[in-house]
Structure 1
Amino acid sequence: MAKPCIICVAITGSLPRKEMNPAVPITVAEQVESTQAAFEAGATICHAHVRNDDQTPSSDPEKFARLKEGLETHCPGMIIQFSTGGRSGAGRERGGMLQLRPDMASLTVGSNNFPTRVYENPPDLVDWLADEMLTYGIKPEVEAFDLSHIHQAAAMQADGRLKGPAYVQFVMGVKNAMPADRDVFDYYIRTVERLLPGSEWCAAGIGRHQIEVNEWCVAA
């Protein structure tokens, strides 16, 4: 029997704006409507960002609470995953919504370069976010922008900072970080299987790489 394919939809992200694509859902109401359409089409995980009124990224717990309530109402049974990404806040502000107890939350366990800046994830912040997820019973999605992040996740699981089995996402195609390369993709799968046996993995391709990476995932 073939293993089921889990589809995760990132309905908004942290960068696209209405002037780039009028279809980008920005308000909570738009996000709920967009997620419901994806849910009815077969998506089972929602990776959720929220935005301020000026469309900039936000970590506002009140907005996350409204989004979570809307998704639970209109997408019953869908797995809700909050983003703790660094574009939406600084320091522990990035995890201020974890007390809402989503099913999952993103966790980047190390720093790396982005196109124009460093995506900073210092060890003390990573440990605090991981501890908050343990406290509130939240499953981390380890976002691997670099090979070292898979090794760090394995170390954190080994010493109890992460509860296994791990769930790891390969984020591919970010300029100055991990490329969208099929050989690299295959090696990352082998690395997760070797260091984190019994874990699950998924992958995201940034921008023009999304369909290509989706095809690799389905074929793997």
Structure 2
Amino acid sequence: MNYDVVVTCAVTGAGATTDRSPHVPVTPKEVADAAIEAAKAGAAVAHIHVRDPETGQGSRDPKLFKEVVDRVRDSDTDVVINLTAGMGGDWIQDADNPAMPGPGTDMISAEERLIHIEECRPDICSLDCGTLNFGDGDNIYISTPPTLRYMAEKVREWGVKPELEVFELGHIRFARQMIKEGLIADPPMFQICLGIPWGADQSVDTMKVMKDHLPHDASWAGFGISRMQMPMAAAAVAMGGNVRVGLEDNLFLDRGVLATNGQLVTRAVEIIERMGGRAITPQEARNKLKLRGAEI
């Protein structure tokens, strides 16, 4: 059981959700406001993607990230900033020529994936620790060993903590290899991502198996998507982990009731407190996770 829980709110993501809920933030101001709302509700960490303000689609424009980060930092609300570094790994196979990329492919270099991280210097950035069939179409998320090794080395140089996002056991295996090679600063930080088609299923059994394969000194969090968001949050706390909620992973507070990020954080905090724990502050999270700005 974890009695001092780091709550992360993933406020928007990059998926096609903006037409399904009016609460999904799109513009930099909306994304920043969502991060602040989540922090005021009890989240210690805001996990941030950005979107094209005109189309609502996921974007990797460094200027958008910079505006969001500046707005959050200029506010009077403290929150640990966690930026995605996962954009730019989407390969969609062309239907007529499988050897070529099809429409919607967005593949960039490891260096390009980190442009906004170098500029913004967040507390944390995500590293998606492997390749994955993403959904039932021809979309493959690609994150190769050389790409990950380069990214891990650079973010360590900049003092940014990598959140090692793992979608199946092979991802944990490679993350442990990077730790062995000295690319990841102690203690390593993992995010167990469950329910993404076609990664690991979202169940208590799966979460326990993946948790048991982590290094003994690792800090970790877990999440499920859609209706399993809160059950997986409770399971993570019971197993000694931290939690992630937010509109990136789930749009609903209850059946048929659309949520805001703040409401999802409030619900998670209520669950944690009913289990006998508490959601810790951003500064306590920095100390616990050994982030830049931790108190010695």
The amino acid of 2:113's aligned partner reads R
Give, in angstroms, the shift of residue 82 of structure 1: 0.6
User: Partner letter of residue 103 of structure 1?
Assistant: D
1:113 maps to a residue whose letter is N
Match of 2:234 among 196, 215, 220: 215
Give the gaps of 5 or more residues in structure 1.
none
Of 71-80 and 48-57, more deviation after overlay is shown by 71-80
Query: Which of residues 196, 202, 206 in structure 2 aligns to 1:174?
Result: 196
Structure 1 residue aligned with 2:58:
57
Question: Greater relative contact order (Cα 8 A, min sep 6): structure 1 or 2?
Answer: 2
Once the 2 structures are TM-superposed, how far is the Cα of residue 175 of structure 1 from its aligned partner? 1.4
Residue of structure 2 aligned with 1:197, choices 195, 198, 216: 216
Partner of residue 260, structure 2: none
Report the TM-score when normalising by structure 1: 0.92
Question: Does the 8 Å CA contact 2:60/2:87 hold for their aligned counterparts?
Answer: no
Alignment-derived partner of residue 31 in structure 1: 31
Gaps of 5+ in 2: 90-105, 240-296
For residue 48 of structure 1, what is the aligned residue in structure 2? 48
Range with greater deviation from structure 2 (69-78 or 26-35): 69-78
Aligned to 2:114: 95
Task: List, as ranges, runs of 4+ consecutive aligned residues in structure 1 with deviation greater than 6 Å.
Answer: none
Count the aligned residue pairs: 217
- Between the aligned partners of 1:59 and 1:75, the Cα distance in structure 2 is 26
TM-score norm. by structure 2 comes to: 0.69
Identity %: 27
Cα separation, partners in 2 of 1:17 and 1:175, compared to 1, 3 Å: closer
Distance 2:76 2:235 in 1: 28
Aligned match of 2:71? 70
- Which whole-Å CA distance do the structure 1 matches of 2:4 and 2:229 have between them? 20
> Alpha-carbon deviation of 1:125?
1.4
Query: Relative to structure 1, is the Cα distance of residues 181 and 87 closer, same or farther in structure 2, using a 3 angstrom cutoff?
Result: farther
How far the C-alpha of 1:87 sits from its partner, in A, is 5.7
Q: Quote the residue 1:122 is aligned against.
A: 144
Go from structure 1 to structure 2 and tell me whether the alpha carbon gap of 1:87 and 1:179 turns closer, same or farther (over 3 Å shift): farther
User: Could you say what secondary structure the match of 2:4 adopts?
Assistant: coil
1:151 partner amino acid: R
* Contact 1:98/1:132 (<8 A) preserved: no
Aligned-residue CA RMSD (Å): 1.7
